[in-house]
Amino acid sequence: MNKLAVVALGGNALLRGDQAGTIKEQEQNTTDTLENLVYLLKEGYDLVISHGNGPQVGNILMRNDAGEQMYGIAQMPLDICVADSQGGIGYMIERVFRNVMRKHSIEKNVITIVTQVMIDKNDTAFQDPQKRVGKIYSRQEADDLTEKKGWIFKEEVKAEGGWRRVVPSPHPVGIMNENVIEKLAREGNVVIAAGGGGVPVYIDEKKNVRPVEAVIDKDLASSLLAARIKADEFYILTDVPFVYINYKKPNQEIKEFLDHADTVRYLNEGMFSKGSMAPKIMACLQFIEKGGLKSVITEATKLEDRSYGTKITMKYDK
């Protein structure tokens, strides 16, 4: 049986921070990133791809807001916006990857699954919303929206006098249709799933599936998906080729190989930024703790070069 890999594409794999966000830019970035996944297909891996959606879902929310203010178009809730972004980004990745594979004479189906991810409605994240979404408002606008819609706002540090909506980011506990995703991937299809961390849902007392106004960390959801479908390897593609300790300090050090114990120790020592690398490290740890063989964090264009990337295993694997 072929090895199965789950590859989580970071936001920069689709949209760079200094770009306007046109579809032409996103398609080119996606093409450049997917060219590096051809290596895994040629090595005989079955493949599941997940992706971020931060800039895209933010734009959807702002279009929501503009449509309501200018034309009276009813706003859609956050779960619908996340699903919209999954469908749109999944379509783009699917189409672009078909073209990339054709270039390399690879024939595979590519399938996008808009994925719902289970959360615990009693997760403590609901008592302390922290994830910023949507546009920046004035204090008066934020107060009006709090009264009208019950939204929660926090002051935006980067914009003096600006306020942004914050929503919970609960921990993922299950993946809907995980058996379907695994079956399709094991049959040799490339599956795109759990985009943007998935649409957060829970089961109510009547056993109905209910949405929540929240977002799920993409890397944690991707890691859980990888574990649940019994993937062998889990990759996070980001904008750095390695994990570092003492990052950007005189004693900065590359860590190409990490075992579970050292990774946990560095995490507890605060070596990884909470806003960037720490969630990726926690996702990698979650995967190997649930039986995965290896997690890798690397820069998208370095995937094929095995001398790059930080490899995290239960024991050192050099």
Active-site option among 10, 90, 195, 280: 280
End-to-end Cα spacing for the chain: 24
Residue 104 corresponds to which tokens in the numbers above? Answer: 């390399």
Closest CA to 310 of 265, 263, 257, 267: 257
Catalytic (active site) residue 64: no
Phi, psi dihedrals of residue 64, rounded to the nearest 5°: -55, -50
Give whole-number Cα distances, 231 to 46, 102, 117, 178, in Å. 9, 26, 18, 12
Residue 218 corresponds to which tokens in the numbers above? Answer: 């993409």
Active-site option among 218, 292, 309, 311: 218
Catalytic (active site) residue 280: yes
Active-site option among 131, 195, 197, 292: 131
Rg (CA), the chain: 20
Residue 22 corresponds to which tokens in the numbers above? Answer: 């046109």
Catalytic (active site) residue 131: yes
Catalytic (active site) residue 121: no
Active-site option among 10, 11, 54, 88: 11
For the chain, the residue count is: 318
Active-site option among 10, 12, 36, 52: 12
Angle subtended at Cα 132 by Cα 131 and Cα 137, rounded to the nearest 5 degrees: 155
Catalytic (active site) residue 24: no
Query: Catalytic positions, please?
Result: 11-12, 131, 218, 280
